[in-house]
Each structure stands twice: as C-alpha cells, then as structure tokens.
Amino acid sequence: MLARNSGDVNRADLTDDDGNPPKTVPTVRMLYVVGGPGMADRVDVCDLFAVRLAQKGFQIQWVLYDAQPGPKWRSTRWHGAPAFVIYQSGRRGLAGKVQNKLRNLVADLRTFRLALTGRYDIVQVRDAFLVAVLALLATRLRGGKFTYWASYPFAESRVIDAREGRARIPALSLIGGKLSAWLQYKIILPHADHIFVQSRQMLEDFRKEQVAEQSMTPVPMGIGEHLLNHPPCEVTPYTILYLGTLNSVRRLDTLVEALAIVRQQFPESRLVFVGEGEFPEDRQCLEQAISKFGLADAVEITGWLPAAEAHDRVCRAAVCVSPYYPIPILLSTSPTKLIEYMALQRPVVANRHPEQSEIIAESGAGICVDWSAEQFAEAISTLFADPIAAEAMGQRGRAYVRDKRLYSGIAEDVAAEYFRLLSGDKV
C-alpha cells in the first residue's frame, strides 16, 4: 500500500544496470499519459521512463496514442508494464478527423476515471491539454501529485500553422491552438506540482508567461549507451546527411540550396534526408526545391528507416547537419539528432540555436553558423576540405555525449526530482 502526499514510499528490491546485487529503492506508482500518436516511441519516453526509471522503482501505467487504425481503447502491455492504447479510426477526410476527436475525448474521460480511482503517487501528462486538466482535477480530488512534461510548444505551433497556411483546416487549428495555450498557461502549468521542460530556453519562455521558475526542471535530450558502441562504418566522401522530420516549418529547402553551392567546389557532393514529413505536402515542398535547383540525381529522401539502418547511414556520412529554422517554436527544442550525430562520431554543421550553440561551443564537435544557405555551404565545404579535422570533431563529440548526455545519468537526475517532490521538498 503506497502512502500518499507524504515522504513515505514502499520499498522494492531491484538489481542495477550492471547486474550488481539487489539494492533497496523507493517504489513510485505513476500514471503517465503520453499525448500524440506515436510519441511514446521517442527515446525520452521509451528509454528514459519505460526502461531507466522502471529500473529505479517506478511502476508506470501508460496511456498511449497510436497512429495506426485500431480499437478505441485497448488494454495491453508496453515494455512489460500495463498500458491502455487509443488507436486512430482508420477513416480519412473530415469524417475521420471528427471520429478521432471523439475517440480522444472518450479516452480523456476514461483517463480521468483511471486517475480518480487508481492509487497513483504521481499522475503525469505529456504534451496534451484537456486530459491534463482532467488529470489535475483528479489528483486534487483523490490525492497524489500532478506533473506535466512539455517537450514542444504544440499550442503555439498550431497557431503558426494556421496563420501560415499549413493547417488542413486553418480556422479550427487557430481556435484549437489558442484554446490549448489558454489551458496550458492559465490552468495546467500554474497548478501543476512540478513541470519538466525540454530545455533551458523553454523554461525561460514559460517564465515569461508567469510560470514559477522553481516549479520547472529542464530535461534535455540524451541517448542510450548503445550508440557509443555502434560499429564504425566506412565514410562516403562528400556526403551530407539530415536525420529527422521533413516538416515544412523547418525550411529544409535551405539545405538543398546549400548543396547547390557546395557542388560548385565539390561536384560529387550528395545530400541524404533520412526521415519523412507529417503530411504529403511536406515532402512535396522539398521535392520542389530539389527540382528547382536541378539536383534530382544528388538528393535522396529515404523516408523513415529502422533505427539501426538510420544510424548506419549517419555513420557513413562525411558531414551531418542539424538545421533549426530560427523561429520561437523551434528555439526551445532540444535536438536529438545533434546528440545522435555526436555519439556516432560525425562532425556536425548546425545553425545558431540556444541549445545547439552551447553544445557545439562546449564540445568542439562541429561548426555553428547563422541561418542561410551560404553559411551552411561554407561550413560544409570547410569540413569536406579537411577530413582529418572533421574526424577529430567527431571524436570530441562522442566524448562530450559520454560525459553529459547519456540517459543513465539523466535518469538519476529525473528520479531525484520525483523523489524530492514526493518527500515535500519541492512545491
């Protein structure tokens, strides 16, 4: 039986990551609602929570959203823990969107019932709004702590997509974004027991919205140790690689233009996009840029690949790029791709960005530039011209990741925050 709203927690025996003899650790029961279809596959969910924190005594029950068609609400297990999964309706067009909204509403109400009737020490919601209000209400009625995990400014993103014409139904996207922002800044964040944010920049952004700084903890992206042990690959000279989403808000056509400039000095240069957009229009926008610059034979778009294959492609690239178009919704991100590149010992060209600039300056793992095709091209050409120096950057990047961005260390810090919260040391 777990004590609630006190520093008393049950104890459980657990072996550590190295297989050492069992040791006594606190047991924390958590309901974790991960907003967004497919978001549970992110490494800061499946590695940090489902693996690392589970090893530290966190007994997590999950509410997850799947991008695939299926039942409205399915009880299953995920990473060995109990989970409820909400699937998409499978219908297309407006009817499908309406049906999915109704499914999500029913799921939110079921989640409220779970939070109200379950014996949880912590109820945590990630990147969702209405269900976060309901979960907050449940903890206030039943007891326990409510925490919120913000990985991206989704409310602001919906507003921008509506205003710039990327939303399928701009008016609904605008209304939804503004309502979500109101819920987040007026109800969810001010009343949460603690908030985990993706970066120091996001903390500053929230602080400007009158969220108390002492109630927030930045948790940057990391990687698992397995990437440090990835076997080396033979580098393909003059290859540039981008890993990640192709969403048009990122202005990836700038990389295509940069390639056209690089090929004036290194005509055999190629650019590989490993990823896909959220909508067909995202890829079409990129293909239009490729056609505009006459680079169809020099650019490859692979789509999403299995992780091992994607990492092999990273290892073979001469230079990896981490572009984040300098608009507010992207400035608060914590780039996973940058850490993965560095763990795989690849030299990086990144544009100036709060977290990227700091990492490149501290690690010496690459070159940071202002946002422009010319700047990207100049930095890429510099690394192509001196592959020995480029490989040295890659080695420094791996050393930095080993020291500062492994989830084994991040998990220790995150677990400590939860234990302090439960003991009453954090408001």
Residues in contact with 340: Cβ distance below 8 Å, sequence separation at least 6, in sequence order: 223, 227, 243, 311, 314
Ramachandran quadrant class, 250 (left: phi over 0; alpha: psi -120 to 50; beta: rest):
alpha
Q: Find out if CATH 3.10.310.30 is the number for domain 11-221+407-423.
A: no
Beta bridge partners, 349, equal 321, 367
Q: Which residue has the tokens 């409220």?
A: 112
Alpha-carbon distances, residue 409 vs 44, 120, 219, 403, 416 (angstroms): 13, 25, 11, 9, 11
Dihedral Cα 234, 235, 237, 242, nearest 10 deg: 140
11-221+407-423 matches 225-404 in fold: yes
CA 383, 388, 391, 395 torsion: positive or negative? negative
Q: Does the global pTM surpass 0.85?
A: yes
Q: Are 118 and 138 in contact (CB under 8 A)?
A: no
Residue ranges covered by each domain of the chain: 11-221+407-423, 225-404
Which tokens is 262 given? 């690089």
Write out the chain's pLDDT in tens, 427 residues. 122 222 333 333 334 445 454 454 568 999 999 999 889 989 999 999 999 999 999 999 999 999 899 999 999 999 999 999 999 887 887 788 888 889 999 999 999 999 999 999 999 999 999 999 999 999 999 999 999 999 999 999 899 888 888 777 888 889 999 999 999 999 999 999 999 999 999 999 999 999 999 999 999 999 999 999 998 889 999 999 999 999 998 999 999 999 999 999 999 999 999 999 988 889 999 999 999 999 999 999 999 999 999 999 999 999 999 999 999 889 999 999 999 999 999 999 999 999 999 999 999 999 999 999 999 999 999 999 999 999 999 999 999 999 999 999 999 999 999 999 999 865 4
> CA 189, CA 191: separation in Å to the nearest integer?
5
> CA 404, CA 64: separation in Å to the nearest integer?
29
DSSP state of 50: I
Q: Which fold has domain 225-404?
A: Rossmann fold (3.40.50)
Q: Is 283 helix (H, G, I), strand (E, B) or coil?
A: helix
Amino acid at position 136, single letter? L
